[in-house]
């Protein structure tokens, strides 16, 4: 089977009358052209977040899914994770129509989510310890809402770069903010309960299903 015939979109819940959708994007490597392994730790890290969102949006007509990467890494200008995320969004549109989408991505998945936020369905992005190297484009974030969470004990991706990207996104016309998870690490194991609570409440708040956490609302600026 040709690679481009396999959709990267994996749905964990559908809805008979979809009103919105959430897609989660796990992390990966800077480089790696091989397929992700069957035992994929970055993907497993997102499982409790996906389950929490599925539970929090029960009965609200929210479709929940994830992006299954066909390559393990970002791979420079190939931006494989972003390519798969964009394909997943188009496949989602074919399945559920024109519904607002919130993307939630960790690490490389955060970078992919931010990169494809210009898709017409995307209304908001929640980035968890996102990979935000210098020079990342931000014009596609105009008119989007962007919540970035980063632990101050992260030794893999740079918290300061995340705050810098949020500032540039605001200049580009986004409602964007970055929040420091005190004591949080890259794997989101330290203060795991806080990570999940903030991420889940941010998603439901951005969907209009409840209020945003006060600490998140406090950092969102245009």
Query: For residue range 121-132, what is the model confidence (pLDDT) as tens digits?
Result: 999 999 999 999
Stated as kind and residue range, the H or E segment containing 51 is: helix 41-56
Return the number of other C-beta atoms located less than 10 Å from residue 30's C-beta.
Answer: 11
176, 169 Cβ separation under 8 angstroms? yes
pLDDT of residue 46: 96
pLDDT of residue 221: 74
Do the domain assignments include residue 64?
Answer: yes
Handedness of CA 89, 95, 101, 105 (dihedral sign): negative
Number of domains in the chain: 1
Domain region containing 179: 3-217
Do the domain assignments include residue 222?
Answer: no
CATH number of the structural domain spanning residue 81:
3.40.50.1820
Whole-number percent of the chain with pLDDT over 90: 94
Q: In 57-191, which residue ranges form alpha helices assigned H by DSSP?
A: 80-96, 108-115, 159-171
Could you give phi then psi for residue 64, rounded to 5 degrees?
Answer: -120, 135
Regarding beta strands 62-67 and 9-13, do their DSSP bridges make them parallel or antiparallel, or are they unpaired? antiparallel
pLDDT of residue 57: 97
User: What is the Cβ-side half-sphere exposure of residue 70, based on CA atoms within 13 angstroms?
Assistant: 18
Do the domain assignments include residue 37?
Answer: yes
89, 101 Cβ separation under 8 angstroms? yes
pLDDT of residue 2: 37
Do the domain assignments include residue 78?
Answer: yes
pLDDT digits (tens, 9 = 90+) for 31-60: 999 999 988 999 999 999 999 999 999 999
pLDDT digits (tens, 9 = 90+) for 185-206: 999 999 999 999 999 999 999 9
Do the domain assignments include residue 45?
Answer: yes
Do the domain assignments include residue 85?
Answer: yes
pLDDT digits (tens, 9 = 90+) for 60-95: 999 999 999 999 999 999 999 999 999 999 999 999
Whole-number percent of the chain with pLDDT over 70: 97
129, 150 Cβ separation under 8 angstroms? yes
Contacts of 209 (CB under 8 A, 6+ apart): 56, 57, 60, 62
The rounded distance, in Å, linking the Cα atoms of 154 and 121 is: 31
Do the domain assignments include residue 207?
Answer: yes
| Burial environment of residue 23 by CB neighbours within 10 A (0 to 12, 13 to 18, 19 or more) | buried
pLDDT digits (tens, 9 = 90+) for 140-171: 999 999 999 999 999 999 999 999 999 999 99
Do the domain assignments include residue 19?
Answer: yes
pLDDT digits (tens, 9 = 90+) for 88-109: 999 999 999 999 999 999 999 9
Is it the case that residue 3 has pLDDT exceeding 60? no
């Amino acid at each position: 089977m040709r690679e481009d015939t396999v959709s990267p979109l994996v749905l964990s819940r559908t809805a008979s009358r979809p009103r919105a959708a959430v897609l989660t994007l796990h992390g990966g490597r800077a480089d790696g052209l091989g397929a992700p392994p069957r035992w994929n730790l970055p993907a497993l890290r997102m499982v409790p977040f996906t389950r929490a969102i599925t539970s929090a949006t029960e009965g609200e007509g929210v479709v929940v899914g994830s992006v299954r990467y066909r390559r393990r890494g970002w791979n420079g200008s190939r931006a494989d994770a972003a390519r798969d995320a964009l394909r997943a969004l188009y496949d989602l549109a074919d399945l559920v129509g024109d519904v607002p989408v919130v993307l939630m991505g960790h690490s490389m998945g955060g970078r992919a989510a931010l990169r494809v936020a210009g898709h017409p369905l995307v209304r908001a992005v929640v980035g968890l310890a996102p990979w935000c190297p210098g020079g990342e484009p931000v014009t596609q974030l105009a008119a989007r809402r962007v919540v970035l969470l980063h632990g101050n004990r992260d030794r893999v991706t740079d918290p300061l770069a995340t705050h810098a990207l949020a500032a540039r996104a605001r200049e580009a016309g986004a409602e964007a903010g970055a929040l420091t998870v005190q004591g949080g690490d890259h794997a989101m194991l330290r203060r795991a309960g806080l990570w999940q609570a903030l991420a889940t409440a941010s998603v439901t708040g951005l969907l209009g299903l409840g209020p945003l956490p006060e600490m998140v609302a406090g950092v969102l600026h245009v």
